[in-house]
Amino acid sequence: MSEVRVAGVGLTSFGASPNRTGRDLFAEAADSAFEDADVSRTDVEIVRYGNFMGELAEHQGHQGPLMAEAAGVSAPATRYESACASSATAIRDAVVSIRNGESDVCLVGGAERMTHLGTAGATEALAIAADDLWEVRAGVTFPGAYGLMATAYFDQFGGGREDLAHVAVKNHVHALENEKAQYQREISVEDVLEAPAVSEPLGLYDSCPISDGAAALVLVSDEYAETHDLAAPVAITGSGQGGDRMALHDREHLARSPAADDAAAEAYEDADITADDVAAAEVHDCFTIAEVLAIESLGIVDRGEGIAAARDGYTTVDGPVPVNLSGGLKAKGHPVGATGASQLVELTHLLEGHHPHSDAIDGDTVVAHNAGGTVASCVVHVLEVVA
């Protein structure tokens, strides 16, 4: 079985780009990835592309071949849709393809345009990742759903709004040196607590922004890397995927994420690691409570201890296991189709020493956690320095 190497990565700035198309954004990210990889576009055998709301935001379906063309690649291309976990799902399929020997060079990534829809339009578009029959028609939005999950967590494990505020503050600090981040400014706990309520107990600063952006990676087999003398020391050594019921009222748990539990367990087994080996993580913090649930599923902290992790400094840049050194979705931004791929871009830079916070980690094993909806879908990847 071939090992999957990250030959090159590319990322656009995240934020408001209302006059740019999705294909334009992805072309920029792909250009950067190919330049970083020093791999010929003619060697690409498959394209795997993540996008969630292209039909609603750009009146454009069938985006796989469109994005391959934008990237200057002539190869079979498929678009993956798994809500906010779309591009991580695309990466997982590319990993399987390389491992199975079906391909040696894959272009993977994702993009999303959202800001031109406005807050109401983007909220409505995002809502289709929930159960339309039983949630959306009843008026449930994702801030509302995560508010319910936060309330359930407080009821079961304790904690409160101030604990969540520390998650937001931490991630804004981490984003200060990220030139691609949507928000490169500090906020205080008081700012979070005094911000307008979005859905109790969550406020404005507990929520990630609406974003445009794209991310791309060139993945190659270790045989290809060796044959072409590529410097590709970072490998995707573990991949896992989990699922859960769509509607919250059908779930056994609201204060934990079984889909993420399963994805993490599969990825760790695949990579032959444990949570104790993890030096840093990029997790899906669409809302502050989501980071709390994510780090518990990853085993970075024990169940019920995630609420205090940021407050106690455990997941800060100076802590034992820094989380979301990019700024996370909270400060870096969340163009949903690009988010999962962007996490792997950030982690690759971290391991290669090209990240502003590379010196903050003690170890060469990191994980990415990308969730869809209220974690009805989740993909976890393990990245390691192997040579």
CA torsion angle for 15, 6, 288, 311 (degrees, to 10)? -120
For residue 129, is it within any domain? no
For residue 63, is it within any domain? yes
Report the 3 state secondary structure along the chain: CCCEEEEEEEECCCECCCCCCHHHHHHHHHHHHHHHHCCCHHHCCEEEEECCCHHHHHCCCCHHHHHHHHCCCCCCEEEECECECHHHHHHHHHHHHHHCCCCCEEEEEEEECCHHHHHHHHHHHHHHHCCCCCCHHHCCCHHHHHHHHHHHHHHHHCCCHHHHHHHHHHHHHHHCCCCCCCCCCCCCHHHHHHCCEEECCEEHHHECCCCEEEEEEEEEEHHHHHHCCCCCCEEEEEEEEEECCCCHHHCCCCCCCHHHHHHHHHHHHHHCCCHHHCCEEECCCCEHHHHHHHHHHCCCCCCCCHHHCCCCCCCCCCCCCCECCCCHHHHHCCCHHHHHHHHHHHHHHHHHCCCCCHHHCCCCEEEEEEEECCCCEEEEEEEEECC
Alpha carbons 40 and 24: distance in angstroms, whole number: 20
Residue-range definition of the domain harbouring residue 86: 4-117+213-381
Q: 142 pLDDT exceeds 80?
A: yes
Rounded to two decimals, the pTM is 0.97
Structure tokens at 264: 């993490």
Confidence of residue 169 (pLDDT cuts 50, 70, 90): very high
To the nearest whole number, what is the mean pLDDT of the chain? 97
Residue 56: predicted pLDDT: 95
For residue 172, is it within any domain? no
For residue 140, is it within any domain? no
Q: Which one of the listed residues 84, 208, 286, 378 is annotated catalytic?
A: 84
Residue where the block lists tokens 């798994």 = 82
Of the listed ranges 136-145, 256-265, 332-341, the least confidently predicted one is 136-145
Structure tokens at 31: 């250009």
Q: 11 pLDDT exceeds 90?
A: yes
Say which CATH number the domain at 71 has.
3.40.47.10
Residue 386: predicted pLDDT: 93
For residue 177, is it within any domain? no
Query: Average pLDDT of 225-248?
Result: 97
Please list, in sequence order, all residues whose beta carbon lies within 8 angstroms of the beta carbon of residue 7, skipping any fewer than 6 positions away: 36, 37, 38, 39, 105, 218, 219, 220, 225, 230, 232
Query: Average pLDDT of 334-348?
Result: 98
Going from the C-alpha of 76 to that of each of 57, 125, 166, 227, 355, the distances in angstroms are 24, 28, 45, 24, 33
Residue 249: predicted pLDDT: 94
Please list, in sequence order, all residues whose beta carbon lies within 8 angstroms of the beta carbon of residue 273, skipping any fewer than 6 positions away: 237, 238, 365, 382, 384
Active site residue 334: yes
Q: Which one of the listed residues 334, 349, 355, 369 is annotated catalytic?
A: 334
Residue 261: predicted pLDDT: 98
Q: Encode pLDDT of 262-276 as tens digits.
A: 999 999 999 999 999
For residue 43, is it within any domain? yes
Active site residue 249: no
Q: 387 pLDDT exceeds 90?
A: no
Provide the number of structural domains found in the chain: 1
Residue 217: predicted pLDDT: 98
8 Å CB contact between 235 and 272: no
Nearest of 367, 160, 182 to residue 280 by alpha carbon: 367
Alpha carbons 279 and 300: distance in angstroms, whole number: 9
For residue 309, is it within any domain? yes
- How many CB atoms are closer than 10 A to CB 118? 12
Q: 1 pLDDT exceeds 90?
A: no
Confidence of residue 2 (pLDDT cuts 50, 70, 90): confident
For residue 125, is it within any domain? no
Strand partners, 48: 78, 108
Counting residues of the chain whose pLDDT is more than 70, the rounded percentage is 100
